[in-house]
Amino acid sequence: MNQQREAAVVPPKVFALVIILAVELLMFSALLISFVILKSNLAIWPPYDQPRLPIYITGLNSINLLMSGVLLNFVYRKLDINSSLEQRKKLANLLIYAGIFSILFLVIQGIEWFQLIEHGLSMSEHVYGSIFVVIIGFHAVHVLADVILICYTALKTINKNITSVELVGDDGIIKVGNLYSFFVIGIWPCIYFIVYL
């Protein structure tokens, strides 16, 4: 009996990542809803003994993450089955620049975080500090994972032993990387507007 295996509607790696990102989205939603509830129940915001958040610096820093997203989107759209190794190397350089923008975003966020702690942001004395650190820290971990994924993708892009199908196919590295990056970069404006404004 010759049974043919049906092709998956959604490739397995993509399906697994969608499930993971759905869980991540629920966690971010719960944290942000908690923040909104906390904010709406206090007459003075931020609480009188807690520092104000750096709205403008973080807004400008957001450009770094968005620039990373623009570069990643460009690379993910340009890489295809017919890309030569030379084209792949040029696009890998753009991936490195995207990673640098993301790293710059993380460094500036880290500096802001430590300055807020120096100015009295307390994780133990007030829920405000705790939930802020969890939301921003949780996102920072995701950006760091995205940087690692970007570097991995850049290395795979210039590897001549990786087939084009493995790289850009339905279940390829590029599709999975693009989906994860889209989530990490796409959720940041929501976090910024809810937490910082």
Question: pLDDT tens digits, residue range 23-58?
Answer: 999 999 999 999 999 999 988 888 888 899 999 999
The length of the chain in residues reads 197
Residue 160: pLDDT band with limits 50, 70, 90: confident
pLDDT of res. 8: 61
Could you state, in order of their start, the residue ranges of all structural domains in the chain? 12-42+58-196
pLDDT digit string, tens, across residues 82-138: 888 899 899 999 999 999 999 999 999 999 999 998 988 878 878 888 999 999 999
pLDDT of res. 123: 80
Q: Which residue has the higher pLDDT, 168 or 192?
A: 192
CATH (residue range 12-42+58-196): 1.20.120.80
Query: What is the number of alpha carbons within 13 Å of residue 76 lying toward its C-beta?
Result: 21
Burial 38-58 (b: 16+ CB within 10 A, else e): beeeeeeebbeebbebbeeeb
Distance, CA of 53 to CA of 55 (rounded, Å): 6
pLDDT of res. 5: 59
Report yes or no on whether pTM surpasses 0.85.
yes
- pLDDT of 165 over the 80 cut: no
User: Mean pLDDT for the chain?
Assistant: 89
Using a pLDDT cut of 90, give the percent of the chain over it. 59
Tokens 């998956």 locate to: 8
Q: What is the mean pLDDT of residues 172-183?
A: 88
User: How many CB atoms are located within 10 Å of the residue 144 CB?
Assistant: 14
Distance, CA of 60 to CA of 15 (rounded, Å): 34
